[in-house]
Structure 1
Amino acid sequence: MKRALCCSGALALLSFSPLDASPVATAFGQEAADRSAQALTPMAITDARLPTDTFRAPMIIDVLDRRDPTLATATRLEDLLGSQPGLGVAGQGRRNGQTLSLRGFGRQGVLVRLDGVRQDINTGHLGNVFLDPALLNEVQIARGALSSLYGSNAMGGVVSFETVEAADLLAPGESAGGRLSLRGASASDELGATLSLFGRRDTERGDVDGLVAIGRSESGDIRRAGGETAPDDASLDSLLAKGSWAFAPDQRLFASWQHYREASTQPANPQQLGAADDALRDRTTRSDNLQLGHAWTPDPVTRLDSRLTLSRQQIDDTGTDSDAGRRLQRLGVQSDGYRRFDHGGFDHTLALGAEANRAEQRPSGSASGFPRADIDTAALYLDSTLGAGEHLAAGGPGRFELGLGARYDHYRAEDSQGRRSDKGRVSPRLRLSWLPSRHLMLYSGYAEAFRAPTLSELYADERHFAGFCAGPFFCAPDNFWVPNPDLAPETSRTWESGLAWRLGDWELRASYYDTRADDFIDTEVDLMAGTTRAANVSSAHLWGYDARLAWRPGSLPIDAFLGLSEVSGRDRESGDALGRLTPLEALAGADLHLAQGDLTLGWRGRFADAYAKGDDGQQPGYGLHDLQLAWQATPSLSTSLRLGNVADKTWYRPDGSLGDGRSVMANVSLQW
């Protein structure tokens, strides 16, 4: 593979003033500590569809923003999320082969959203998330069963990526600016650049702002832990265009276009470590997400967002013997809003929304396992939170908050042969919180979630793989997919309880969950019959916990955090341990702020316990260490540096893939 010859980008957004947030500890914003538990706050979690801050949310939420070197120096999904406890990133570092798993659910059980647009193309071993980290402003990881708000796929949680806007880069009083960012990573021989221009203007007809960012990067073979190499030769072009017009004090129109195009030479299975040179193929991956929307905010306690979205992912392979193309296009409309009411002794927050979309799946050439089919989806959801009571210090029994929510989803799928699947699903959610003081919250709740079958699982009917002979007396015929339009959706029922607590400089969030999942969809292969079929084959019992501890002493220039996660499970029918689980994992870190906060030195430790992984035997544990630096050299010049896996320790992710190796990742940004 060739080495990188030119630059790959960090967006102009990636400058670093003093680092005041860590990947896990950001979820415990210091601003929230000063808010009254009874005051409605702006949405600190912009994609959680409920107007609350992270401390009062009855779930575990991690937030990673652009000020942290983990996001600033990331060139791919693994760099960005690979160290989050309990969040698995499968693959060997290739951008188009990375998928996520969370709380025992694989790629189809974790909903991924980019600027509110669902990302769910299903292409076998290929990934379903195509984005340039240089364009991101924030990443939010909400853990738990969230189908009552988000519908299908939100069984283990929701990962939301939010791209940067002009307001994120402009300083107070500025009306226009630009930024050039250079970024590189030694493990993938990657270099690149991103140029962005942004501005805002006050006009007689309202405020107008906009941003355009263009990035280019090239990379080579990917060095894995211990020195193994994953062959790759890739170039990435990215574009982000966003703008808004506040044509009235309480109304705003907005539009955006996020474009991704990667050309690569790699194995047919990008999750595979290596391949012979003659087995490599050229692959082009394109992703476009467009939206046009309207936001109405008549007062601080009311908001309604409506948007029209178009999402398209296209993957084209060029091999030595055949070409294959796969395209998923989704056109949708959605509206989400909330309203806060005060009724004397209690308050009421109402969130509601509706959405409808049509997805079209189109194969070309020799594409297999990706049938021509369409699916129409419509949904309504309503969530109500009632709050009442005074804290113990005020003579009351404590503050109680009762949340009730439900969402109805209906999907109708049909392939080119007229085979139909028509089903509906209600996803309820109940939660109760008790706050004896504004520094302590205890909560418990129940939620149901589901995952609709993919079009490939319902209708695939092409050849899966060619026949073969394993010896003179055993030969298997060609193997073909068999459609199963009667496939039922996966479902789950989850109980979760936890607490949030603050005391002085300390903050703790923790939860324990217990999930019963039914109708897991798996692939059944019959070699002698020459068939492969998706079927509802098993039920599971999953349980585990997440915990986050942060320490931020106001009198010292240091902060530290610890995040823990573990998932256990078994097959409810056989009693056997499941294979899609994670061991006890920990992310620890500390940051030292110097030079009046302009220079921050940080350490991150990633640890995992050894554990038995089903039939695959014992999975070894590991301990990894990263070092990082963030330096605001001048008001216009900033840099970030990260040394990952300092000792180049060999380690494996829960899915069995080799982890990332030692790498120097750097970012330099100049803004004017």
Structure 2
Amino acid sequence: MKPTHSIATVMAWSLPILATQAGADATPETSAAALDNVTVTGTRLPGDPSRAPLILDVIDRDDPALSTASSIEDVLSRQPGLHVAGSGRRNGQTLSLRGFDSNGVQVRLDGVRQDINTGHLGTFYIDPWLIREVQIARGALSSLYGSNAMGGVVSFETVEASDLLLPGERGGMRLSLGGATGRDELGGAFSAFGEQDTANGPVDGLVSVGRRDSGDIRRAGGQEAPEDAELDSLLLKGGWRPDDENRLFAQWQRYDETSTQPANPQQLDVEDDPRRRQVTSDNVQLGHRWRPAAASEVTSRLSLSRQEIDEDDANRTLERWGLQSDGYHRIEHGWLTQTLAFGAEVDRASQRPGGGASGFPHADIDTQALYLEDTLTVGRHLSEGGVGVFDLGLGARYDRYDAEDAAGRETEETQLSPRLRLSWRPVRGLMFYSGYAEAFRAPSLSELYADQRHFAGFCPAPGFCFPDNHWVPNPDLQPETSRTWESGVAWERGDWALRASYFDTRADDFIDSDVDIAAGTTQAINVNRARLWGFDARLAWEPADWPELRAFAGLSEVSGKDRDSGEPLGSETPLEATLGADLDLLDQALTLGWRGRFANSYERPDGEGTLPGYGLHDLQLAWQVTPALNTSLRLSNLGDKVWYRPSGALGDGRSLFASINLQW
């Protein structure tokens, strides 16, 4: 590959200098007011996720949907407007959001992207035992996250020692047991964790190991997806804080699943001989977090992400080395507040096929990126004699990628992703916002360079046969791009809170596969111009007179069409509502909950008729038996309703999920 030179490499090391200068300009008032430590995925700034100018959903480790989950489908399957495709097999699960499939939604694990692209296999290689929090940020976010963030970003964070320590404790151990009837699964995890003060500063650490054994997967109506799987997981984390400003950290997360399943894990039935497949994923990080002031932070990390899919006759490996540095700083200028989010990334991803691997070429891609977003805040609320508080956000990200395969075919592209947003807060608890953003998806190495056999030829009639079908490389493939306008409102008053937004996206150069049966070729090409539009809304009620009760509702819809032909296009989502309520009993030790998801009927994606609407009901229970013992139960799809994802895949069936945790 040709050597590349980019200012991103220099910027990766110069960001701490920028933060140092900004820290010197901060006023004492800014330094005294610490920012919230929760980083909001949609802004890359600390703050309250419920007040961010976008639709953001957060799932924490106390939610039974996460604490009892055996796969990522169990975690995400009831989120409004988000759908997980496949037949329940962990390594065949992909998602769609805001009209984009998994290629247009970026998945991140502890701050590092996860994006192996190989046929019908998914990108979720993490055991739910290890997850602390999930943030689902909707909207065009390439200005902060680069390629693939066209429909949004789904960010997973793994558990820390501080998440498990009980008040007043410095160390502990935790045993978790769980299972799910819908996949005939039993499993367990053991964790040891602690914090310790030393002469050189406090240190903390965590080690967690898990095991799951599962069988055939029950889908809606009692149909089964045959499988025999064993999953082993590992998480090692540690940190050292030599002083109040600095923290060094390191971690290793491993996922190792061996399964017997169809060649295509997304299909329901086994149409050929089952395949023995081993999927391993390792994510390693070394990092440094620098916080020179309460309103400043820079986090830098060196990461290695490696996924390997090993079968009897084929092997696929993706290895990604990355260096990234991200930070924020807030400056008070008296009447004006300025908040900066900035960062730089450099990485190299390498694909290495083995055996008879098809559609996974030997190729490398280098990426360099810079981003900067500046939010200016000015004004006073109407009650204080002003005309409201205004936030103006201006930002952009520059990405460059250079790809080359083993045959010397090269691809070089640059992409600028700007974002503009404006919000107005006339009074406390009310915000109107609107914005424009551009986003993109770079072609995968497989789409650029695949040249192996796609599928074998066949003879539909005696003496009439089609040849073997082969991939044809397309190094000139252009990235998908989009332009999105989104406007919304956020309102809080008394017991009620509302968030709602409407978006309109114009997308160009969709990447599709052109299959010519007669010629025996398949090639990735740029095709349709699309329009995607829809809305998201969230309503929450927490009555002060009944603090034991909480209720919420979500509503979403996504429509899409080809701007040239007018035909439906994109991963559409029917009008669907998500409802839920929780009731605390026994001084909040016991929580009973109900979740419902309801959808209208909608046209099949292949145009062959209509898929029926549905209504799904889940019941859940969380019980803190003692400070050291808790349990969660969730009964999913109570009525065993037959229902289908927008992709046409059969949804999950009735299943009882259970977990019990003992800590000492």
1:566 counterpart residue number = 557
2:571 to 577, 580, 597: 580
1:211 aligns with 2:206: yes
What SS does structure 1 have at the residue aligned with 2:241? Answer: strand
- Structure 1, residues 558-599: CA drift from partner, whole Å, max 9, x if none? 000001110001000101112521101111000010000000
2:611 to 614, 619, 644: 619
- Structure 1, residues 213-257: CA drift from partner, whole Å, max 9, x if none? 000110000000000000000000000000100011110000010
> 1:55 Cα shift?
3.2
Distance in 2, matches of 1:546 and 1:248, equals 44
> 1:330 Cα shift?
0.1
1:637 aligns with 2:614: no
1:656 counterpart residue number = 648
Return 5+ residue gaps in structure 1 as ranges: 1-35
Distance in 2, matches of 1:477 and 1:50, equals 55
1:532 counterpart residue number = 522
Contact 1:45–1:140 (Cα < 8 Å) also in 2 = no
Distance in 1, matches of 2:659 and 2:136, equals 24
1:667 aligns with 2:652: no
**Worse-matched range after superposition: 168-177 or 492-501:** 168-177
1:438 to 424, 428, 431: 428
1:485 aligns with 2:456: no
1:359 counterpart residue number = 349
1:14 counterpart residue number = none
- Structure 1, residues 302-356: CA drift from partner, whole Å, max 9, x if none? 00000000000000112xxxx1000000000000001000001110001110000
Distance in 2, matches of 1:270 and 1:537, equals 28
1:288 counterpart residue number = 282
**Worse-matched range after superposition: 54-63 or 92-101:** 54-63
> 1:141 Cα shift?
0.2
What SS does structure 1 have at the residue aligned with 2:65? Answer: helix
2:487 to 482, 497, 512: 497
Contact 1:579–1:613 (Cα < 8 Å) also in 2 = no
Distance in 2, matches of 1:398 and 1:89, equals 41
| Identical-pair percentage | 67
Report the AA paired with residue 446 of structure 2.
Answer: S
What SS does structure 2 have at the residue aligned with 1:55? Answer: helix
Distance in 1, matches of 2:314 and 2:131, equals 31
2:70 to 75, 82, 91: 75
Is the alpha carbon distance of 1:331 and 1:544 closer, same or farther for their aligned partners in structure 2, counting shifts above 3 Å? same
1:173 aligns with 2:168: yes
Distance in 1, matches of 2:532 and 2:570, equals 11
1:412 counterpart residue number = 402
After TM superposition, the structure 1 = structure 2 runs for residues 8-157 of structure 1, keeping only pairs within 5 Å, are 41-48=35-42, 49-157=44-152
- Structure 1, residues 14-63: CA drift from partner, whole Å, max 9, x if none? xxxxxxxxxxxxxxxxxxxxxx9xx7731433544123322331110000
Distance in 1, matches of 2:416 and 2:37, equals 26
Distance in 1, matches of 2:50 and 2:412, equals 40
1:548 counterpart residue number = 538
> 1:467 Cα shift?
0.5
Distance in 2, matches of 1:40 and 1:483, equals 53
> 1:100 Cα shift?
1.0
1:300 counterpart residue number = 294
- Structure 1, residues 443-479: CA drift from partner, whole Å, max 9, x if none? 0000000000000000000000110011135311000
Number of equivalenced pairs: 631
Report the AA paired with residue 106 of structure 2.
Answer: L
- Structure 1, residues 473-524: CA drift from partner, whole Å, max 9, x if none? 5311000000000000000000000010011000000000000000000000
What SS does structure 2 have at the residue aligned with 1:254? Answer: strand
Contact 2:317–2:353 (Cα < 8 Å) also in 1 = yes
- Structure 1, residues 154-185: CA drift from partner, whole Å, max 9, x if none? 00000000000000011232111000000000
1:402 counterpart residue number = 392
Contact 1:525–1:532 (Cα < 8 Å) also in 2 = yes
Contact 1:43–1:53 (Cα < 8 Å) also in 2 = no
> 1:438 Cα shift?
1.5
Contact 1:577–1:613 (Cα < 8 Å) also in 2 = no
Contact 2:189–2:208 (Cα < 8 Å) also in 1 = yes
Distance in 2, matches of 1:236 and 1:219, equals 9
Distance in 2, matches of 1:514 and 1:484, equals 30
1:30 counterpart residue number = none
> 1:555 Cα shift?
2.1
1:522 counterpart residue number = 512
1:425 counterpart residue number = 415
> 1:618 Cα shift?
1.1
- Structure 1, residues 58-101: CA drift from partner, whole Å, max 9, x if none? 11000000011000010001111011111110100000000111
What SS does structure 2 have at the residue aligned with 1:71? Answer: helix
> 1:382 Cα shift?
0.2
After TM superposition, the score normalised by the length of structure 2 is 0.94
Contact 2:595–2:619 (Cα < 8 Å) also in 1 = yes
Distance in 2, matches of 1:50 and 1:635, equals 33
1:326 to 298, 316, 331: 316
1:609 aligns with 2:603: no
1:460 to 450, 454, 457: 450
Report the AA paired with residue 269 of structure 2.
Answer: G
Report the AA paired with residue 290 of structure 2.
Answer: W
Contact 2:50–2:56 (Cα < 8 Å) also in 1 = no
Structure of higher RCO (CA pairs closer than 8 Å, 6+ residues apart) = 1
Contact 2:41–2:137 (Cα < 8 Å) also in 1 = no
1:340 to 330, 334, 338: 330
**Worse-matched range after superposition: 499-508 or 570-579:** 570-579
- Structure 1, residues 254-295: CA drift from partner, whole Å, max 9, x if none? 00100000000000000000114x510100000000000000
Contact 2:80–2:555 (Cα < 8 Å) also in 1 = yes
Distance in 1, matches of 2:124 and 2:626, equals 35
Distance in 2, matches of 1:132 and 1:496, equals 34
Distance in 1, matches of 2:166 and 2:232, equals 28
Report the AA paired with residue 172 of structure 2.
Answer: G
Report the AA paired with residue 145 of structure 1.
Answer: A
Distance in 2, matches of 1:575 and 1:45, equals 40
- Structure 1, residues 622-646: CA drift from partner, whole Å, max 9, x if none? 0010000000011111000000001
2:12 counterpart residue number = none
Contact 2:257–2:280 (Cα < 8 Å) also in 1 = yes
- Structure 1, residues 405-427: CA drift from partner, whole Å, max 9, x if none? 00000000000000000000000
